[in-house]
Structure 1
């Protein structure tokens, strides 16, 4: 999809473009890493790149499948009610990298077929939204932009922690073009300011 003014003036095209940009960015963050790196949990809650891909593919398959009357057609056991907690957020040893990325491709291909088949004002129903469950494809797309963008941000931080690779999206770093010494000095300055700050009370008063 092009990025020209005509496209951006079409509200539906704009929404889909932003969703696809976030999709492609998250997928890009997985490229060039070893299997160990893709699986490595990098936070106290286990956030890992392969798990992010598995989770997002599963979410897309659900929202843009059954919720709009176009079932994805594959059973995802980690979505079952009796599945282990967070089963969609990591890949077991029996789930290969290739199988997760293949699921990603199939889920997004199904999503693109849904967009080709249905207008964004098509009715939708999300059972797990309770009383808010009756909605439209438009709202699901907005929801997924937020969902995928949040996880793309997670992937940004995880990837940088793994091997130092950073950037907004493929071909666009959106970072100052500086060498490693400049970045080390920059981080040292930030750390010095942080360490001078008080730990005695929260900086944000929620009262």
Structure 2
């Protein structure tokens, strides 16, 4: 659900893509509203997912894709051993810290997408069994993938939140506006 569509999104492809990814980010952000750190870290379903872990995961995933597109090293790269930590808060991490980190990543994503000469421009994919050899994707593809990835996890966050207290992101729209 898109809760806010800026006037620039109406005729501008970049604005539209940025608006759609932001709408999905908002759904995930709303999933933690009014929860304690303990509630947000709880896993009330058969899955290992928590709403705080989902916030962390989507923020780190967006940063990873942004760094690939920028062709810069990722300062939060995960190894096979630390991959699980991308789905849970560790050490002294808090929801406010993760939300602030994600806001910085989102702002950097927007700045980057607005700065590329064309959404048709491409960047190389890293070597991995799930990517084609010598694969490249466009900046447009990147934005569509971020929308898809964030929306998938927004649905997860909605289910986890609803399992906690019966509330969904849709019901928490007004609460987010007060933030």
Sort the TM-score into its range (normalised by shorter chain).
0.7 to 0.9
TM-score by length of 2: 0.80
Change (3 A) 1:151 1:110: same
Structure showing greater Rg: 1
Separation of aligned partners in 1, 2:19 and 2:158: 20
Please state how far the C-alpha of 1:142 moved relative to its aligned partner.
0.8
Change (3 A) 1:69 1:93: closer
Q: Which residue of 2 aligns with 1:146?
A: 148
Higher relative contact order (CA closer than 8 Å, sequence separation 6+): 2
Contact 2:125 2:136 in 1 (8 A): yes
**Residues 79-135 of structure 1: CA deviation (Å, up to 9, x unaligned):** 13442x422111124323333222212211211221221132222222142327311
Q: How many residues align?
A: 167
Change (3 A) 1:159 1:64: same
Please state how far the C-alpha of 1:167 moved relative to its aligned partner.
4.2
Q: Which residue of 2 aligns with 1:193?
A: none
Q: Which residue of 1 aligns with 2:24?
A: 22
Change (3 A) 1:116 1:70: farther
Contact 2:56 2:98 in 1 (8 A): yes
TM-score by length of 1: 0.71
Please state how far the C-alpha of 1:8 moved relative to its aligned partner.
2.8
Contact 2:41 2:53 in 1 (8 A): yes
Q: Which residue of 2 aligns with 1:126?
A: 125
Pair 1:113 & 2:115 matched: no
Contact 2:56 2:89 in 1 (8 A): yes
Separation of aligned partners in 2, 1:54 and 1:155: 12
Q: Which residue of 1 aligns with 2:87?
A: 89
Q: Which residue of 2 aligns with 1:11?
A: 13
Separation of aligned partners in 2, 1:161 and 1:81: 30
Separation of aligned partners in 2, 1:49 and 1:11: 30
Change (3 A) 1:112 1:3: closer
Separation of aligned partners in 2, 1:45 and 1:103: 25
Change (3 A) 1:158 1:10: same
Tell me the C-alpha RMSD between the 2 structures.
2.4
